[in-house]
Amino acid sequence: MFESLESIISQSKKENKNFAEIVIENEAKSSGWSEEKVIGKMQKMWQVMLDASDSYDGSLFSNSGLSGGDGKKFSDYAGKGNTLSGSYISSVISEALKMAESNACMKRIVASPTAGACGVLPAVLLPLYRQKKYPDEKFVEALLVAAGIGQVIANKACISGAQGGCQAEIGSASAMAGGSLVYLSGGSAEEISVAVGLCLQNLMGLVCDPVAGYVEIPCIKRNVIGAVNAVSCADMVLSGIKAKIPADEVIEAMGLVGQKMDSSLRETGEGGIAACKTARKLVKV
């Protein structure tokens, strides 16, 4: 188990291996699997992400009736070429909406790291995959990088909204996505760590306040924010921007902030947006 990002950075430098290689090696040792089997398991996860995206149905609505169809709306809008955000970011937004809506509609997704944050990581990777931006195997490696990041966050802090607020779910997913993007772009383990810290600190303090207790409002739209945050942080890192606070310390800070959150702000549906008058009316629908 990785206890810190610094330990991964140190091992990367010592053994002259990249972040993905370190994760694969560690997982093989801890699981008793071969490295080929570790990679194969993640290839299956990647295929599930691809299938989930390809099978999105814009006509479906969740059982609550609170969500559905927005991914199609945005995709149709983006197809007109008039978005303010440009083609890649528009694709990221579309994928995040579609994947998170698919989760709400009880379709098969990959919890990365949770079901409520399932749209963030695939949202940043799928458009690049479809553009043939990198070789296919690099996307599996990027997922392994994301898994290593998620493991550190889970060990040092938390990844559940019930324990640490939405900063622990969307924040962690964003950090995983940002790190995976830096890896794809040839970034070092140290640069990946910087992206993780930036992504997390940008979403520090984000509460978990699902309307009516469903992981739909505002959760689905927050997948978009987590994904776009990941892209912006990755680009900042790749531009040479450094972080003043080490990522491991940011992770620890996130954990402490989560502990201090009132229970109404940790997935109970009793505070934040969920406590608004209109949200209360939706509970009765």
| Confidence label for 2 from pLDDT (cuts 50, 70 and 90) | confident
| CA–CA distance, 13 with 1 (Å, rounded to integer) | 18
What's the pLDDT at 1?
Answer: 76
Spatial contact of 180 and 146, defined as CB atoms under 8 Å apart? yes
What's the pLDDT at 265?
Answer: 98
Q: ω before 127 within 30° of 0 (cis)? A: no
SS3 call for 219: helix
Q: Which amino acid is at 186?
A: G
Compute the average pLDDT of residues 57-74: 97
pLDDT digits 0-9 by tens, 142-193 = 999 999 999 999 999 999 999 999 999 999 999 999 999 999 999 999 999 9
Compute the average pLDDT of residues 115-137: 97
Integer-rounded Cα radius of gyration of the chain: 18
| CA–CA distance, 55 with 59 (Å, rounded to integer) | 12
Confirm whether pTM is higher than 0.95. yes
Q: Print burial letters for 244-274: b (CB count within 10 Å at least 16), e (below 16).
A: eebbbebbebbbebbeebeebbbbbbebbeb
